[in-house]
Amino acid sequence: MLVLDLYSAYSGLTSLAISPSGNYNTFTEAISTKANEVIELYDKLDSQIPEIFELENESI
């Protein structure tokens, strides 16, 4: 489920911020990878949720 995938990726990103590990290069690579995953999942979820404007116009 997309929401759970996003939550898992976001939790992983916050875990990296709370408990950083590795050297600078591995840490920045891990942050970049996880941040890109969060952004990708967020964009997928955002594209599947109808806009409020669209919902208001459908009810008219």
**Three-class SS string for the chain?**
CHHHHHHHHHHHHHHHHHCCCCCHHHHHHHHHHHHHHHHHHHHHHHHHCCCHHHHHHHCC
CA end-to-end span of the chain: 32
Q: pLDDT (tens digit, 0 to 9) for every residue of the chain, 60 residues total? A: 899 999 999 999 999 999 999 999 999 999 999 999 999 999 999 998 877 666 666 665
In the block, tokens 């919902």 appear at 55
What pTM, to 2 d.p., does this model score? 0.78
